[in-house]
Amino acid sequence: MADKKRIAILASGFGSNLQAIIDQAQNIDINGEIVLVFSNNENAYALERAKKYGIKSVSFNPGQFESRQQYDKELLVLLKNEKIDLIVMAGYLLLVGQEIIKEFSNKIINVHPALLPSFKGIHGIKDAFDYGVKVTGVTVHFVEEDLDAGPIISQEAVIITEDDTQETLEEKIHKIEHKIYPLAVKYFCNGRLAINGRKVEILKGE
């Protein structure tokens, strides 16, 4: 087996997807190790989760720098110093800087609470619910410069029923996120994701 991939989690809030990935890594061998949790929000509960498991946690925000470019540069230095192989977005509410995306091309993944390319942006669940669609879902994708536009790794549909509220739909969505996102991390760490243009093939393996 190849060396374990070094994973950085970027989060701005509660960190439930971070917890799902931690749980997955504890239960099965994903060939990866979370070595860094970064947040732009010093009060993010995700940082507390990191500390609980002895994972290095770092926080700073754009307001501490003269420009957004300097913030992104500092984050890029941190990621490179930690020799990160995979960046996992887990409720990180800022756009990733272009230099970071270039440096970590095809090494940044995100989970989106809708079936892309529908309902892009940070309100995917609310937008789908308000639009009245009967089916929404979860998308795991690679991150590119355009918002929610990178090649899709996996998707799973969620049925919206007559008695669903936005809150019950959120619960359904998060349940699926916590199932398919850790799997995508495992596939990446085991070299099972092959990108060909817009298509991502999940290669056979354990």
Say which residues have a Cβ less than 8 Å from residue 69's Cβ, sequence separation at least 6: 97
CB 118 within 8 A of CB 92: no
Say which residues have a Cβ less than 8 Å from residue 62's Cβ, sequence separation at least 6: 40, 68, 71, 94
Say which residues have a Cβ less than 8 Å from residue 184's Cβ, sequence separation at least 6: 109, 111, 140, 153, 154, 193
N- to C-terminal Cα distance for the chain?
11
Tell me if residue 174 is catalytic. no
Q: Which CATH architecture has domain 5-202?
A: 3-Layer(aba) Sandwich (3.40)
Q: What are the DSSP E strand ranges found in 71-130?
A: 86-89, 108-112
Confidence of residue 26 (pLDDT cuts 50, 70, 90): confident
Token representation of residue 19: 């917890």
**Interval 110-150: pLDDT, tens:** 999 999 999 999 999 999 999 999 999 999 999 999 999 99
Domain boundaries, the chain: 5-202
pTM equals: 0.96
What is the per-residue pLDDT for 31? 93
From 112, 123, 174, 178, the catalytic residue = 112
pLDDT, the chain, mean: 95
